[in-house]
Amino acid sequence: MKLFVINGPNLNMLGIREPGIYGAQNYESLMQLIGDVCTREGIEVQCFQSNHEGEIVDIIQSAYGKADGIVINPAAYTHTSVAILDALKAVALPAVEVHLSDISVRESFRQFSYPALACVKQIAGLGFEGYEKAVLFLKEYIPSLVK
Ligand code: DQA
């Protein structure tokens, strides 16, 4: 089983960026955690981060035929991007949307997600643990694809 983990804009600034909301750990620590979880679970993983909407669309498209599922934190594009929603619909892979913070209790503009309309699950407010839960969810969700 192979997963793509895709992180959107400003997530490369973790640890520096608003630590009261997003925590003190940096992006490399997040990559370490995801790598450790996937190794433990026997899952192949490829991680991406981009600050550019079109590049995120390209990455999602490139998952077609290569990945069995997608974990995505579209960051600010969550609340604006029909293009990311359409890309997820186009590849039609099981996708889980993750947010470090609980977007449901933040500013009203963060409470709607376009990509969630194409995701099988949304996990928000659990910090880094949300990514682990997303990987474990997809491992259960697509067992017939486990190789
Ligand atoms: C975020 C929540 C978004 O509203 C915000 O724009 C982000 C991070 C999160 O992980 O909590 O950049 O996706």
The domain covering 2-142 belongs, at the CATH homologous superfamily level, to Dehydroquinase, class II (3.40.50.9100)
Q: Tokens 């192949």 identify what position? A: 44
Q: What is the pLDDT of residues 84-131, one digit of tens each?
A: 999 999 999 999 999 999 999 999 999 999 999 999 999 999 999 999
Residue 27, pLDDT above cutoff 80: yes
Which residues line ligand 1 at a C-beta cut-off of 6 Å?
Answer: 10, 73, 75-76, 78, 99-101, 103, 110
Angle between helices 53-63 and 82-91 (to 10 degrees): 10
Q: Report yes or no: 99 and 73 within 8 Å, Cβ to Cβ.
A: yes
Delimit the domains of the chain by residue range: 2-142
The pLDDT value given to residue 144? 61
How is residue 78 written in tokens?
Answer: 């969550």
Q: Provide mean pLDDT across the span 61-82.
A: 98
CA of 24 to the centre of ligand 1 (A): 15
Helix (H) or strand (E) holding 70: strand 69-73
Phi, psi angle pair for 103, to nearest 5°: -65, -20
Q: What is the pLDDT of residues 43-55, one digit of tens each?
A: 999 999 999 999 9
CA of 12 to the centre of ligand 1 (A): 12
Of the candidates 140, 137, 25, 19, the one whose C-alpha atom is nearest the C-alpha of residue 72 is 137
Task: Tell me the pTM.
Answer: 0.96
